[in-house]
């Protein structure tokens, strides 16, 4: 099929042209306007009048407003998103570019009030408005600061939360404990966003106190019992806990000044440091703001503050997919990319070592400035990219072997792989009455991480079902297959992603394509194929935990489905051929489906539109088709 080769060459040419001088690929990682809004609020609160940046952030926010006045997390969200709308409304007022009596602001205000107002917003929106004097802090935060004093060896500790949750929770705990407020004369008044003015609104959702009485008491009791045995006067324990949280944040600041390279945690850290008495001119805060500014990417309208930068991820995927499409590891683009990747392998012991001691660092992180927060997905992506070079280059071989050892050591006791930290899945933490505790506070095994790891180990490390570690992983996947034959993917949307990862992983380590579980998944993928040959799944699947079609096809989800079917099909099937035709004849970049968010962050709260995905995954699927059938 000449169309396949033509499309492969077209993508190859474009991607090589987009490579940066340092060998990396740097695509925008787009989320909702929440990050842009919080950046404007932060800059105004710190009295940093960067009007050029604020103007561009405002332009991007305004471009995303819907006809009913709302803002959405993803295009097909059934109704506008309340918290995203509150964030955007507040930021536009704070920018000074808009006033309450303008039509778009009146529409937004009506939408907010009709859906319950500020009291029904999510936790991060409530905390942001509490920090700026528009919402009331609760008498007690759900997680006491003394929790930071408990060692990880106890049945409950601060380290039962996964790392990306900890770096958000620590500054929240400090700010909530201090009930910190920084309200300026020009801070907008949001009192008109209360649908009903409560006597004492708090940051918790309706019914939280009932849940706290049942589920949160164990955490408080465990914390209280332990801290009473510490060699401090009772009155000093609280301050010791606050100092411990402050040091926790400071010791995890990356070279660019951000906290773990997340813009959300960095913003919260700045407020927490202010609550601890830091001046807004303190070098730590100034560098954090500079790091946030450096995380801004250009958009069609204005600029967008990325929640995290994805240079390592994009570079590893780009290098690997280009090599699979036929570029040699000695090609200048691949040589440069792999040199960049080798420089980003982490040599620092991060928090992952707490539950995985005795293993040397060797993983890769997601972002350009990650030095202490490696993850499984980025590590396997980097190792795929370096595989060919490691066969002849001693430096690459040493790095590859370190990465492989670290990766294997991170397997959970249940047989699957987590994203960041081994065996971090506390039932107590998952059941805490904190918004998102059940989905983003721990780091359980997932089908996508386990499947992708198996695919790497089978295709590139020569491992198979005869290895006990592989057999345990397959057992975990088989036990977690959905009744319809699919698997849920945690870090992509959602069942198409998880099914692709599980299928390609199990087949790569030797499970035969005619194995019943594999065939059941194949039938599911064929059943949900769109008439145009593509696949498309809504982010709503991630919220509802059941497959919900998008009603249109996206390049990345089509590529995942086609790639899975290729792996399971000895010769091309009608579904594969139809999918390949979609990928070779799809609309030019710029169509909304090319930028639909197919990356998962926080179910119901954060979704990622990877601007690289419309190129990388189709290139990989087309290359696998060419290798196997042409």
Residues designated catalytic = 377
Q: At 303, is the secondary structure helix, strand, or coil?
A: strand
Left if phi > 0, otherwise alpha if psi is -120 to 50, otherwise beta: which for 117?
left
| 476-479 long-range Cβ contacts below 8 angstroms, 24+ apart | 476/414, 476/415, 476/416, 476/445, 476/450, 477/416, 477/447, 477/450, 477/451, 477/502, 477/505, 477/506, 478/517
Strand-pair category, 599-602 with 29-30? unpaired
How many angstroms separate the CA atoms of 494 and 144, rounded?
A: 34
- 349-360: b (≥16 Cβ within 10 Å) or e: ebbbebbeeebe
How many angstroms separate the CA atoms of 594 and 575, rounded?
A: 21
Q: Alpha helix locations (H) across 366-489?
A: 376-390, 394-409, 427-430, 437-440, 447-460, 468-479
Handedness of CA 88, 89, 94, 95 (dihedral sign): positive
Q: Report residue 503 CA to chain centroid gap.
A: 23
- Identify the helix (H) or strand (E) that includes residue 526: helix 516-527
In contact, 505 and 415? CB cutoff 8 Å? no
In contact, 17 and 335? CB cutoff 8 Å? no
- Identify the helix (H) or strand (E) that includes residue 606: strand 606-610
How many angstroms separate the CA atoms of 138 and 136, rounded?
A: 6
How many angstroms separate the CA atoms of 415 and 405, rounded?
A: 16
Q: At 189, is the secondary structure helix, strand, or coil?
A: coil
DSSP E strands in 311-382: the ranges are: none
How many angstroms separate the CA atoms of 506 and 453, rounded?
A: 10
Q: Report residue 85 CA to chain centroid gap.
A: 21
Rg of the chain over all Cα atoms, to the nearest angstrom: 24
How many angstroms separate the CA atoms of 80 and 69, rounded?
A: 8
Q: Which residue has the tokens 């992506």?
A: 381
In contact, 563 and 505? CB cutoff 8 Å? no
């Amino acid at each position: 099929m000449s169309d396949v080769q033509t499309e492969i060459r077209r993508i190859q040419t474009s991607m090589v042209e987009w490579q940066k001088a340092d060998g990396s690929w740097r695509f925008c990682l787009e989320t909702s306007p929440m990050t842009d809004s919080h950046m404007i609020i932060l800059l105004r609160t710190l009295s940093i009048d960067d009007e050029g940046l604020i103007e561009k952030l405002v332009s991007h926010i305004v471009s995303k407003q819907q006809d009913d006045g709302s803002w959405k997390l993803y295009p097909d969200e059934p109704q506008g998103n309340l918290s995203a709308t509150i964030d955007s409304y507040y930021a536009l007022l704070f920018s000074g570019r808009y006033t309450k009596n303008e039509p778009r602001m009146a529409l937004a205000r009506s939408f907010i009030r009709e859906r319950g107002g500020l009291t029904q917003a999510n936790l991060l929106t409530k905390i942001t408005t509490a920090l700026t004097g528009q919402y009331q802090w609760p008498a007690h935060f759900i997680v006491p600061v003394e929790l930071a004093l408990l060692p990880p060896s106890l049945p409950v500790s601060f380290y039962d939360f996964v790392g990306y949750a900890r770096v958000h929770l620590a500054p929240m705990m400090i700010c909530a404990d201090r009930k910190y407020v920084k309200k300026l004369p020009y801070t907008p008044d949001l009192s008109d966003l209360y649908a009903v003015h409560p006597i004492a609104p708090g940051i918790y959702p309706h019914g939280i106190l009932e849940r706290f009485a049942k589920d949160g008491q164990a955490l408080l009791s465990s914390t209280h019992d332990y801290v009473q045995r510490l060699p401090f006067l009772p009155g000093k324990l609280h301050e010791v806990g606050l100092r411990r949280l402050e040091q926790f944040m400071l010791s995890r600041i990356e070279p660019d000044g951000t906290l773990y390279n997340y813009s959300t945690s960095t913003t919260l850290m700045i407020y927490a440091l202010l609550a601890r008495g830091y001046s807004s001119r303190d070098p730590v805060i100034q560098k954090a703001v500079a790091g946030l500014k450096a995380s801004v990417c250009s958009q069609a309208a204005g600029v967008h503050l990325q929640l995290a930068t994805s240079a390592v991820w994009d570079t590893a995927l780009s290098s690997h997919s280009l090599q699979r499409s036929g570029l040699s590891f000695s090609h200048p683009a691949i040589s440069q990319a792999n040199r960049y990747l080798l420089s980003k392998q982490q040599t620092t012991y991060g928090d992952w070592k707490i539950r995985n001691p005795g293993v040397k660092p060797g993983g890769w992180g997601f972002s350009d400035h990650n030095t202490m927060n490696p993850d499984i997905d980025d590590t396997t992506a980097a190792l795929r990219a370096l595989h060919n070079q490691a066969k002849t280059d001693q430096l690459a071989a040493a790095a590859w072997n370190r990465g492989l050892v670290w990766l294997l050591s991170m397997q959970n006791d249940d047989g699957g792989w987590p994203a960041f930290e081994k065996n971090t899945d506390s039932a107590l933490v998952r059941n805490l009455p904190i918004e998102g505790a059940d989905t983003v506070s721990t780091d359980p095994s997932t089908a996508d991480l386990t499947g992708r790891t198996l695919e790497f180990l089978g295709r590139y490390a020569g491992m198979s079902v005869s290895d006990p570690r592989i057999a345990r992983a397959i057992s975990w996947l088989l036990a977690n297959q959905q009744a319809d034959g699919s698997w849920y993917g945690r870090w992509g949307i959602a069942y198409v992603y998880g099914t692709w990862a599980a299928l390609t992983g199990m087949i790569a380590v030797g499970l035969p394509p005619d194995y019943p579980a594999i065939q059941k998944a194949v039938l599911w993928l064929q059943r949900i194929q769109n008439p145009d040959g593509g696949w498309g799944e809504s982010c709503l699947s991630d919220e509802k935990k059941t497959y919900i079609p998008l009603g249109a096809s996206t390049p990345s989800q089509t590529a995942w489905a086609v790639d899975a079917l290729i792996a399971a099909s000895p010769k091309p099937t009608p579904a594969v051929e139809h999918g390949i035709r979609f990928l070779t004849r799809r609309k030019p970049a710029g169509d909304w489906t090319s930028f639909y968010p197919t990356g998962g962050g926080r179910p119901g709260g954060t979704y990622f539109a990877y601007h690289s995905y419309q190129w990388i995954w189709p290139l990989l699927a087309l290359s696998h088709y060419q290798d196997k059938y042409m």
